[in-house]
Amino acid sequence: MLKRIILLSLLFTIGVQVHAWAQKDPKAKAILDQMSERYQSLNGLEASFEYYYYNDLDGASQTSNGEVAVKGNRYKLVLDDQEVYNDGQTVWTLIKSGNYQEVTINTVNTSEDELTPSSIYNLYRKGYDYSLNGETSKNGKAVQEILLVAENKKAQFQKIKLFVEKNKKDLVAWEVADSDGGTFKYEFKDVKTDIALDNAYFVFDPKKHPGIEVIDLR
């Protein structure tokens, strides 16, 4: 479960070879720019999502669901037994196990190659080549598939697929491969883009969790 959170807060290592033919495709860039501008224009985004993992080497698979809210560089992630709050400066990871709860506090990692539910919209701007792989369909909607490939072979994320709705330019799903033969897929469901989220929504409030153990690692 910890690996799942690292993946979804999206801090994980990819071990895929960089293709020599990767380039900065102007058609892909136009779509990515529109997606990023669309996201930046929102006062907030809320969505439920489906998470899917499978491993070609051992046949392991896992499916689960969650909820995410995003605004600018802030996000809140809710899973069955964990919640992550990030206000752009501080990140709180709440672990729920039966009647026991603890929250770990860290300073936000500002490294350029960090992948989070908020940075994914601008990840392509530095350190990645990109190409348009064509169109597919998700939930009856036309979706454009874009492949990001890291320019640096030692970069934390080597290959990422983004799926952008053709008409609205909303990001509807993304896919990442890991060095263990596994593939992680995330697909948004029930997306709400007509909401306004207050900045306080992304701050963990310990008063709402009396008796919680607090581990401050800042």
At 80, which CATH number? 2.50.20.10
114: pLDDT strictly greater than 70: no
Q: Judge whether 218 lies within some domain.
A: no
Q: How far apart are CA 91 and CA 106, in angstroms?
A: 5
In angstroms, the first-to-last Cα distance of the chain is 23
Mean pLDDT of 73-101: 91
Q: Judge whether 188 lies within some domain.
A: yes
Instruction: Supply the pLDDT for residue 203.
Output: 96
Domain that holds residue 201: 2-213
Give the chain's mean pLDDT. Answer: 84
Instruction: Supply the pLDDT for residue 197.
Output: 92
> Which range among 110-114, 150-154, 179-183 has the greatest average pLDDT?
150-154
Global pTM?
0.78
Which two three-digit tokens encode residue 125? 């701007």
3 versus 158: which is more confidently predicted?
Answer: 158
Contacts of residue 68, Cβ cutoff 8 Å, sequence gap at least 6: 46, 47, 49, 75, 76, 77, 78, 117
Residue with tokens 């990422």: 160
Total number of domains in the chain:
1
Instruction: Supply the pLDDT for residue 35.
Output: 95
* Torsion angle, alpha carbons of 201, 205, 210, 216, to 10: 140
Q: Judge whether 170 lies within some domain.
A: yes
Q: How far apart are CA 173 and CA 35, in angstroms?
A: 12
Q: How far apart are CA 174 and CA 171, in angstroms?
A: 8
2 versus 25: which is more confidently predicted?
Answer: 25
Q: How far apart are CA 60 and CA 33, in angstroms?
A: 36
Distances (CA, A) of 46 to 63, 67, 97, 118, 137: 20, 8, 25, 12, 22
